[in-house]
Amino acid sequence: MILFTVGFTMMGVCQFWQMTLDDAVRGATRQLLLSSSSTTPETQTQFINSVCSEFGAVAPCSKTNLQIEVQTNTSTQTFAGITPAIVSQQGQLSPAGGFPTIPTSGGPYPTLIQVAYQLPPWMDFLPYLPLSGATIPSLNVILTGNATAALVSNQAVMVN
Amino acid sequence: MARAFLQAHRFLLDRKAVASVEFAIIMSFFLLVFIGTFEILTLLRTDQKMNIVAATVAQAYVVESPDGSALSASIPQDICYGAVQGLAPYGAGGLTVDVASVTSVTPGSTASYWEQDFSGNSCTAVTPAVIGSTAACNLVTSNGQGGMLPSSGGAVGDNAIIVKVTLTYPGLVGLWLSTSPTLTQQVMTRWAYASTSTALTVTGVTPQTITCSG
């Protein structure tokens, strides 16, 4: 019964986090779109700060637990030419850290923004409860909805 | 008969393993509530995600062709690929992306209309048109809620792009229900190219001239 109560609470909190993260990434992406046509395009730090300004109100958010990969296809200018980063079962985004400077002319440029938020251990212990001596990481799906230990939020936008 | 009744009576009075039986009954109930809550929350999340995807697809069309030239034939499908990437981590197996463009030819009378529809992870082009010319016209004129192509005071080249994104929700409910819920989000926008007469067109797609009075 205790396990159920804890499970319910964690699931609710994680779903709330995910919705807030989606909204925060949407807001940050909008900022990125607006800044791309200016003389001072947004930096990775500014992007993270933008996400954390909203998401940080509900969850611990910083450079250390927020992984970002931004890819812009400036060659063929197609989404099909972008290979999305993969999130491992442990919640590691790979590759991560890319944040290209988007050219201010010659666009529009397809841009894929991927954000992965690794759940803190105090939130993520539930799927790792020993079960017959083994762990069941696939239970992460209850918390994150994607069988990894990270909340994932993607945005595919056309940057003008 | 009497023996069976006696056995049933004995079973009802038997107090052994009562806790286990109670646990099994309560546990199954809680499990059902737990899975149900999870499903409803995931459904809401997916719907919110669909809203974002529809908006980003619309945004992609808005900024395409900044010089007013026709979009190359592959662009609509590529924008659909973007929708698939943006929908992740949810699978796009049951996704359809429908895009219609209505441009005023004679304000309050006729309009140029085209539609392209794509389905699934590989964004396969599908026919017939999902939105349809009549519905598209109604949506963008004062017949519907749009009012983007007014019946009076409008200009040649007034444009409205309708993006309709549909996803057959692939959650756990699909395991025991034969029909899965279908989530739909619709967004309307306007092509950003500033011209009073040029229509947004796609190479290889012949626009229809439709009666669209508003």
pLDDT in tens, A6-45: 878 888 888 899 999 999 999 999 999 888 777 788 899 9
Question: How does pLDDT run across A47-64, given as a tens digit for each residue?
Answer: 999 999 999 999 999 888
Are the C-beta atoms of residues B116 and B99 closer than 8 Å to each other?
yes
Gap from A146 CA to chain B (nearest CA, Å): 6
Residue A156 to residue B89, Cβ atoms within 8 A = no
Q: Per-residue pLDDT tens for B66-79?
A: 778 888 899 999 99
CA-based nearest residue to A75, from A41, A42, A109, A51: A109
Residues in chain A: 160
User: How far is CA A59 from each of CA A8, A17, B23, rounded to the nearest angstrom?
Assistant: 18, 7, 35
Distance from C-alpha of B118 to C-alpha of B87, rounded to nearest angstrom: 15
Structure-token match 């900044």, residue found: B66
Better-scored residue on pLDDT, B25 or B147: B25
- Closest chain A residue by Cα to residue B75: A78
Identify any residues that bridge with B189 across adjacent strands, giving them in sequence order. Answer: B161
Q: Which of A7, A145, A156 is opposite residue B85, by nearest beta carbon?
A: A156
Residue B83 has pLDDT above 70, yes or no: yes
pLDDT in tens, B22-62: 888 988 888 888 888 888 888 888 899 999 999 999 999 98
User: Within an 8 Å CB–CB cutoff, is residue B134 touching chain A?
Assistant: no
Contact B48 A78 (CB under 8 A): no
CA distance A44 to A38: 16
For residue A145, the one-letter residue type is G
Provide φ and ψ at B210, rounded to 5°.
Answer: -120, 155
CB within 8 Å of chain A, chain B residues 54-73: 56, 59-60, 63-64, 66
Element (H, E) at B136: helix B133-140
* A45/chain B closest Cα distance in angstroms: 22
Given CB atoms, is B23 within the 8 Å cutoff of chain A?
Answer: no
d(C-alpha B44, C-alpha B65), whole Å: 34
Question: Has residue A81 got a pLDDT over 90?
Answer: yes
Dist. CA B116–CA B149, nearest whole Å = 20
Query: How far is A154 from chain B, CA to nearest CA, in Å?
Result: 5
- Contact in structure between B101 and B159 (CB atoms under 8 Å): yes
